[in-house]
Amino acid sequence: METILIVDDDKDVQFTISNILKHAGYETIIAGGGNRALREIRKRSPDLALLDIRLPGMDGIKILEEMKRIDKDLTIVMVTAYGDIKNVVNAMKLGAYDYITKPFDNEELLLVVKKALQTRYLNKEVEILRRKLGERMATGIIGESPQIKQVFKQVEIIATTNMTVIIQGESGTGKELIAHMIHQKSQRRDKPFIPIDCAAMPETLVESELFGYEKGAFTGAEERKEGKFEQASGGTLLLDEITNLSDAVQMKLLRVIQERRLQHLGGKRDISIDVRIIVATNINLSDAARNGKFREDLFHRLNEFQIDLPPLRERKEDFPILAKYFLDEGNNEFNKKIKGFSAEAINFLLNYQWPGNVREMRNIVRKAVLLTDSDCIELSHFSTNTHKPQNETGTTFNTLRNEIDLAEIFERGISFEEINQEFVKNLIKKALQHTGGNKKKTAEILKINRRMLYRKMKSLSL
C-alpha cells in the first residue's frame, strides 16, 4: 500500500484529502507544517507528498527544498490556489513533479496522484535497469577487434541524432546493450529507456501494451492505462524482436511512427508522442521485408540507420579479453581466486563456435568458476553439449596453439591491450609455422584477409 504525506495547515482540507485517498486504497500521513512533514519523511519515507504552497512559518517552497535534501527521489505534488502560478513554476524548477489547484474534484486529485506514483515506480525500474546494464555492459560490448570498434564508431555517429535505428545480430551479441548505449549517449539520456520484447507478448495484448487503453475498452480493462509509447515519453523505446508483431500491429505501428500520435484502445482522443525508436532483430529485416515476412513500408520507415553486430566467432581477437573479464567477474561474484585456464580449456574457448555468442561465453565461464575448486579452470568444468569444435577449414586451433600458454598470460595481471597483443602475436606466429610461411593460407586459417594479416604482422614486428 502506497503512503502519501499530506502537508496542509487547514484541518478541513486535511480531512477531505485523507478520506479521498483512503477510499482509493492509499495510506495517509498528515502534517500541519514543515517541521512535522520533514520528521515524517525521515521516519516513514512516504511514496508521495501533497504539499500546500502557502503555509505558516516555513512556506511550501522552502519545505520542498528541504524534502529534496532528505530524499532526492521523493515525488512531490504542489497544492495551490488559483493566482499562484509564479510559485508553482518555481516549485517545478526545484523538483516538484506536478501541481493541483484548489478547489479540485475527487477524480482530478486521484488522477494526478496515480500518474505521479506510476512515474515514480517507472523511474525506479529504469534506474534498476541502468544498474543492471551497467553491470553487464562489459559482457556484451568490450573488445578491441576491428568489428566491435566499427560498432562503437557507429554508435557515436548516430547517438546524438533522433534517427530511428535498426540493430541486427544473432542472439547474445548484445543488441539491447547497444541500444542502451545509444540512449545513454543521446540528448534523451535523462528520460526513460523502455525495452519491450515483442516475442514475449501474447498477440492479444500487444496493442494494449504498446498503445495503452481506456477504462472499459475490453473485458478486464478496469482502469485507464498508459502504453509503452507514453511511458517512454521524451526517451527511447526499444522494440526487440520486432518481426514477431502481426501485420495488423505493424500497420498501426507505422501510422503511429509517421504521425507521432496515437489513440488508446477504446479512446477517441489523439495523444502526441515524442519517442526515439530503436528496433532489434536476430534476422535480416531487409530480407524479411523482401520475402513478405515483414511489412515493406514499415521497414523503409524504420531503416534510417542500421547497425549489424558481429557474432563472437568473428571476433577471435576479443576472446582473451572476454575470457579474462568473465573470469574476474566470476571470482568477484563467487568469492573465488582462480588464476586462469588450463591449456585444454583455452583450446575449447578458441575452437568453439559460440552459437549463443557473448552471452553464452559469459554463462559458461561463470559456471566454470563456480564449479572449480582448484586455482585453474579445466575443460571438465565447462558445461556444454557441443561436439568437439573445429573451424571451417578443417584445421583446429589446437594445431596452431601448441606452446601458446594463455593461462600464463592471464595470470600475469597485464592489461587487456597487452593480453590481446601477445595472444594475436603468438597465434599468427604459430599459424605461419603451420603453413610454412604461406601468408595466403595463414590468412585463410585465421579467417582474415591478407591485407589485415600484413597490417597485424607489421604492427606486431613479425
Domain boundaries defined on the chain: 3-119, 143-310, 313-459
The predicted structure's pLDDT at residue 394 = 41
The predicted structure's pLDDT at residue 134 = 47
Asked if residue 185 lies in contact with residue 159, where contact means CB atoms within 8 angstroms, the answer is yes
* CA pair distance 276, 141, nearest whole angstrom: 22
Q: Where are the beta strands (DSSP E) in 32-146?
A: 48-52, 75-81, 98-102
Specify which residues 341 forms β-bridges with: 377
State how far the alpha carbon of 250 is from the alpha carbons of 114, 154, 229, 279, 294, in Å.
31, 27, 14, 13, 8
Q: Which CATH number applies to 313-459?
A: 1.10.8.60
Domains 3-119 and 143-310 in one fold: yes
The predicted structure's pLDDT at residue 223 = 87
Burial class (CB in 10 A: 0-12, 13-18, 19+), 285: buried
The predicted structure's pLDDT at residue 131 = 53
- Return the C-alpha cell found at 425: 602475436
Query: Rounded to the nearest 10 degrees, how much is the dihedral formed by the CA atoms of 396, 397, 400, 405?
Result: -140
Asked if residue 236 lies in contact with residue 187, where contact means CB atoms within 8 angstroms, the answer is no
* CA pair distance 45, 105, nearest whole angstrom: 27
Q: Residue 341 carries which side chain, given as an amino acid letter? A: F
- Return the C-alpha cell found at 145: 577487434
φ/ψ of 140, rounded to 5, equals -115, -20
438 Cβ contact list (under 8 Å, min separation 6): none
- How many CB atoms sit inside 10 A of residue 451's CB? 9
The predicted structure's pLDDT at residue 420 = 65
Grouped pLDDT means (10 residues each) for the chain, 462 residues: 90 91 92 91 91 87 91 89 73 85 86 86 62 44 84 93 95 91 93 91 84 86 88 94 92 94 90 95 93 94 95 88 88 90 84 88 92 88 57 42 47 55 77 78 76 75 76
Given the candidates 3.40.50.2300, 3.30.479.20, 3.20.20.150, 3.40.50.10490, the CATH classification of the domain at 3-119 is 3.40.50.2300
pTM of the model: 0.55
The predicted structure's pLDDT at residue 176 = 92
The predicted structure's pLDDT at residue 194 = 94
Q: b/e string for 71-83 if b means 16 or more Cβ within 10 A?
A: eeebbbbbbbeee
Return the CATH superfamily for domain 143-310: P-loop containing nucleotide triphosphate hydrolases (3.40.50.300)
